[in-house]
Amino acid sequence: MTKFQGKVVIVTGASRGIGAAISRAFAKEGAFVIINYLQNERMAEQVASECIELGGDGWAVQGDVTSESAVNRLIEQVSLETGRIDVVVNNAFKPFKFDPEQRKLSWELKWEDYQAQIDGAVRSTHYMCQGVLPIMKKQSQGSIVNVISNLVERPIVPYHEYNTAKTALMGYSRNLAAELGSFGIRVNCVAPGLVYPTDASRTTKEELKEMIIAQTPLRRMASPEDIAGPVLFLASDWSQFMTGQTLYVDGGFVM
């Protein structure tokens, strides 16, 4: 039997890149995957049909995760349709350009720059978690996996506003894990290194990629598929005694 047969999984920001790869991996294990997207309906529908082809189920649902009312609508739609929510993967984030030469330096940043990234990472996760908690509490089980970044541990490029928001998300996740353990709900993080190709990493300069590869024991960059396995592990019963943890998925760049 596949690992997630009969389970309902929400993946935010899932129309492409890492989110799409995570959705397909869950579907391959028999899950009913809710592919949340903001704008690209065509790509989200494509991911949903791939999920069905892989033996699971897929349903593309539009919703701006930085809006509390949109998140509540999404969760209501899903629970009416499926009656349960087993896993939430908070993968959506506010678009950010990973370009070391074009980044804002600390003295050029305004608070609004930080706020935009904190809203994209922490606010959206907070709304999703608040929304699914009553359902997961009633089930006495659930797994929340938040996608952060290995830059929280080693800011090889100081993308101040992005890295600060992802670090805040790690702190949020740990506090949530401490509170929700008694309800059978686990909260963990996955921290990828540079993942290529994705929309965010498309503009990454060759020399930066080469520098990262040279410092990575496994001597390559992650693909979106590399991130899916650790997410599935944290969502499954194989990790049933793990909560509040961060798994670095970066070929050993951080160790």
Question: What is the per-residue pLDDT across 179-238, written as a single tens digit (0 to 9) for each?
Answer: 999 999 999 999 999 998 787 777 778 888 899 999 999 999 999 999 999 999 999 999
Going 26 to 137 to 64 to 102, the CA torsion angle's sign is negative
97-150, pLDDT tens digit by residue? 888 888 999 999 999 999 999 999 999 999 999 999 999 999 999 999 999 999
3-state secondary structure of 142: strand
The structure tokens 């599935």 sit at 232
* Residue 152 near residue 166 (C-beta atoms within 8 A): yes
When pLDDT is cut at 50, 70 and 90, the band that residue 166 belongs to is very high
The pLDDT assigned to 198 comes to 80
Decide if 162 is catalytic: yes
10-28, pLDDT tens digit by residue? 999 999 999 999 999 999 9
Provide the CB-side half-sphere exposure for 107 (13 A, CA).
0
The pLDDT assigned to 46 comes to 98
Identify the active-site residue in 162, 172, 196, 248.
Answer: 162
* Gap between the Cα atoms of 35 and 44, Å rounded: 6
- Strand locations in the chain, DSSP E? 8-11, 32-37, 57-62, 87-90, 142-147, 185-192, 246-249
89-109, pLDDT tens digit by residue? 999 988 888 888 889 999 999
Q: Is the pLDDT of residue 151 over 70?
A: yes
Q: Please give the CATH architecture assigned to the domain spanning 8-249.
A: 3-Layer(aba) Sandwich (3.40)
* CA terminus-to-terminus distance, the chain: 35
